[in-house]
Amino acid sequence: MKEFYSIKIEVNNTRHFDSISEIFNFSPKETQLDWELILSEESIEGNVLNYTVDLLNTKLSELKNIGIELDKISIWYHYEYEDQCNIEFDTKTLSKVAELGVSFCISCWLEGSTIYI
């Protein structure tokens, strides 16, 4: 099963795309419509959602300084399931997401299905 988180930021120009890449010290594929950083248990030790929230929290003021508004930023949870999809998040982490003021999105798909991320 696949499971990962991502930070997505809607961008409207190349300048924003490049500036966001500098802020996060990461350059995603430029063919994407939005800027996206993918985080998984393979790349992060511990609670990946907590790490994602903490990382974004440290970058918010820089993002605001280049003109990125909170409604353009989202945290995504991507989850592939076999027979049934059950997801649980602790209230402390959800409160941290809410305090950021960004959207929290969930995308689930049946194992073996075509996905559109």
pLDDT of residue 31: 60
SS3 115: coil
Phi, psi torsion values for 87, nearest 5 degrees = -130, 135
Provide the whole-model pTM: 0.87
Name residues of the chain where pLDDT drops below 70. Answer: 1, 30-32, 114-117
